[in-house]
Amino acid sequence: MKAGEKDRVGRLRMLVNALQQEAKEGSDDEVAALQRERKRRLDAAEALREGGREEAAAAEEAEAELIEGYLPAQLSDEELAELVAAAVEEAGASEAKDMGGVMKALMPKLGGRADGKRVSQAVREKLGS
């Protein structure tokens, strides 16, 4: 506050509030909570942009960027491909219908270092669907 960063302080308070709410609900997965909040901000920014509210969309994107700073570093495409290949082998998957088993084996190993949408796309590509 002393540095005059009122916007940043407000955004950080929003993050603390979201994490406290998660704790009250009994969830101890802070990374998942932060990812969810980031996704909410990006979805809101997209909706605002479609509605012609550019300034509000930029504010939502700024909040999403702030949240990203507190998330684990994202895996590179190569690292993700290696983990996907190992999970496919571990699950004994060979076709698209086995995707659920691969995802079940893979997601705990990622620890929030890759977006679920990106992971599912990599698994689909590996299984050839």
Mean pLDDT across the stretch 17-24? 82
CA distance 109 to 103: 10
Q: Tell me how many domains the chain contains.
A: 2
Tell whether pTM > 0.75.
no
In a domain, 122, yes or no: yes
Residue 1 has pLDDT above 60, yes or no: no
Phi, psi (5° rounding) for residue 84? -65, -45
pLDDT at residue 4, rounded to an integer? 67
CA 19 to chain centre: 15
Residue 120 contacts residue 103 (beta carbons within 8 Å): yes
What does each C-alpha distance from 103 to 52, 57, 95 come to in angstroms?
A: 37, 32, 13
The pLDDT tens digits of the residues spanning 115-128 come to 778 888 888 887 77
The tokens for 116 are 């679920």
Residue 105 contacts residue 65 (beta carbons within 8 Å): no
In a domain, 120, yes or no: yes
Of 51, 68, 85, which marks where a domain is finished?
68
pLDDT at residue 91, rounded to an integer? 76
The pLDDT tens digits of the residues spanning 53-99 come to 988 898 888 888 888 888 888 888 888 888 888 888 877 767 777 77
Residues, the chain: 129
Phi, psi (5° rounding) for residue 82? -65, -45
**CATH code for position 104:** 1.10.10.410
If asked whether residues 14 and 63 sit together in one domain, one would say yes
If asked whether residues 13 and 60 sit together in one domain, one would say yes
Residue 26 has pLDDT above 80, yes or no: no
What does each C-alpha distance from 74 to 16, 42, 69, 112 come to in angstroms?
A: 22, 17, 11, 8
- What residue numbers bound the domain in which 27 lies? 6-68
If asked whether residues 30 and 64 sit together in one domain, one would say yes
Report residue 129's pLDDT band, with 50, 70 and 90 as the boundaries.
Answer: low
If asked whether residues 62 and 102 sit together in one domain, one would say no
CA distance 114 to 73: 9
